[in-house]
Amino acid sequence: MVRQRGEEAKLYNRLAALRAERNLSRADLAAATGINPQSVGFIERGDYGPSLELALKIAQVFDLPVEAIFSLTPLPPLSAQVYGRKEPA
């Protein structure tokens, strides 16, 4: 997919779910990656897309590939991916 200059794709993520699963606060994740806790919130809400460097640092914190955390298409719920459960209608 080729985007025109100035056109940005929405970046989806599962940071909030991963933080909850690992019992990490925004402040914990921010400290581990060297950013402000407010920036974690902006990224989680999709208001800000992290740089490649930051995305890789976040992936390293969770010990996951970056594509397990960030995507250009909506991510299915982890329960659907891991357990094959369907989303409620």
State the maximum Cα–Cα separation within the chain, in Å, rounded to a whole number.
40
Closest CA to 11 of 61, 54, 60: 54
Nearest Cα neighbor of 58 from 31, 38, 23 is: 31
pLDDT score recorded for residue 77: 81
Q: Would you list the DSSP string of 17-64?
A: HHHHHHT--HHHHHHHHTS-HHHHHHHHHTSSPPPHHHHHHHHHHHTS
Q: What is the pTM of this model?
A: 0.80
Q: Is the pLDDT of residue 6 over 60?
A: no
| Among the four given CATH numbers 3.30.230.70, 3.30.70.1450, 1.10.260.40, 2.60.40.10, the one describing domain 12-83 | 1.10.260.40
pLDDT per residue over 29-75, tens digit each? 999 999 999 999 999 999 999 999 999 999 999 999 999 999 999 99
Contact 49, 42 (CB under 8 A): no
Domain ranges of the chain: 12-83
Task: Using the predicted structure, report yes or no on whether residue 85 has a pLDDT greater than 80.
Answer: no
Q: What is the pLDDT of residue 2?
A: 46
